[in-house]
Amino acid sequence: MDAFVQKLIAVKPEDRQIAWQSLGFTAFLHYGINTFTNREWGDGKESPLDYNPTDLNTDQWCEVLKSAGMTACTITAKHHDGFCLFDTAFTSHSVMSSPKPVDVVASLAQSCAKYGLKLGIYLSPWDRNHPAYGTGKAYDDFFCAQLEEVTTRYGELYSLWFDGACGEGPNGKRQVYDWPRYYAIIRKNQPQAAIAVCGPDVRWIGNEAGYTRSSEWSVVPARLRSAEGTAAQSQQSDDAAFRQRPISSQDEDLGSRAFLANEGDLCWYPAEVNVSIRPGWFYHPEENGQVRSVDNLLDIYEKSVGGNALFLLNIPPDDTGQINPADATTLRALGQRLTAYQANLLVGAEITYPASTHPGEVLVTSDAPVTLTRLIICEDIRQSQRVEAFTVDAEVDGTWQQIYAGTTIGFKKICTFDRVQARRWRITITQCRHVPVINFVGGALV
């Protein structure tokens, strides 16, 4: 094994990253003062009196999410307007000053426990309401105090989510976020929580449209971890790092051998696909007829969860305080489609895996013919990500026929093809970084 390959396969995930990716399909819940002002980004001048849900019901949120096959949810505890959905000691710009003074995060935490869902929190560092924003340490002290609140009150969190939005404060200056200080608080209070997307554990896929790469690598340049958080910072010295080719989560190739050939440090940095079920991120009544179709959501699911990423689907509760019927109906129908993945049609089949050679072959033999439209393949990512190209063949009427060709596998690959009936299936690893470590093969009829 040459030194470069050894360097590539030495990069492996932390336990918190594996636990995060194992969740597969999760929800984003954009809810807050914008829900009642019909805006996407508030300006921080809203009155808490505007927040007035007629029937807040976080149990209903969780019931709908569970019916869709989701495993976790992340709530916008504070968006850029600074309005807090939790009981905070550090500002009156919160639900506690509204006609319905209920700590929404606490209510959701109880509902998540009841329905078996993990809870994550989005806390915007950009606060358009707080007068100290843009002053430096004074504002950071305030934000860290709130971060202490949300990371110590609501039980175990699976994720803290930051988008890095940064605008001018009342003094006309932008706040320079003290990310290391924020991360230290999270690691202290929630050591198992993954920090996304301006964070060291999870990266943004690069768009909010549901587009996914055909080759998604979790082994990427370490400098990508800071690329998003430092995008607004200019070069301060003649540093060689600044002279390298620019890098962004939006780049199509982030992890091929050719791309990594001239890189220094590498890291395990898996991708998250975040997209909204509606055109907007917060609820707008005029979008009730613009909910994504079940087919579209299934396609995104298969390309994200089945493309070595995690699917974070935004579902904005409406101004009643519940998930709107238009969204709920679609989500329940999606959940019905996804039940096909709960039954592995290759259970009981004999599977042989590559032992000590590469490229290698996985052969699946069932006692009787099985009809499939999906083949699910997983690598043991604890051994890093190794597969670079593969094909899938089915033996039909005594002849092997290629039905799929792909590149990366990673945590999970969902291979989609037209209906095929066969008793023998073959996965041929045609290119890999080292001996492929495949630890699961399954089949579904979707």
Residue-wise pLDDT for 393-405, tens only, equals: 999 999 999 999 9
Please state, in angstroms and rounded to a whole number, the distance separating the CA atoms of residues 28 and 428: 37
pLDDT of amino acid 249: 87
Please state, in angstroms and rounded to a whole number, the distance separating the CA atoms of residues 159 and 120: 5
pLDDT of amino acid 226: 78
Strands annotated E in 242-357:
266-268, 271-276, 309-314, 350-352
pLDDT of amino acid 106: 98
Residues of the chain with pLDDT under 50: 230-244
Structural domains present in the chain: 3-342 (3.20.20.80), 350-444 (2.60.120.260)
In the three-class reduction of DSSP (H, G, I as helix; E, B as strand; rest coil), residue 76 is classed as: strand
> Are 90 and 145 a contacting pair, CB within 8 Å?
yes
The one-letter code for the residue type at 6 is Q
pLDDT of amino acid 360: 86
pLDDT of amino acid 357: 66
The 10 Å Cβ neighbour count of residue 204 is 20
Q: Is the peptide bond before 200 cis (omega within 30 degrees of 0)?
A: no
**Nearest of 86, 84, 62 to residue 73 by alpha carbon:** 62
The 10 Å Cβ neighbour count of residue 214 is 10
Query: What is the four-CA torsion angle of 227, 233, 234, 240, rounded to 10 degrees?
Result: -40
Q: Which residues pair with 425 in a beta bridge?
A: 364, 394
pLDDT of amino acid 228: 54
> Are 156 and 144 a contacting pair, CB within 8 Å?
no
Please state, in angstroms and rounded to a whole number, the distance separating the CA atoms of residues 28 and 37: 20
The 10 Å Cβ neighbour count of residue 109 is 22
Please state, in angstroms and rounded to a whole number, the distance separating the CA atoms of residues 317 and 324: 6
Q: CA separation (Å) from 341 to 298, 344, 370, 428? A: 12, 7, 15, 23
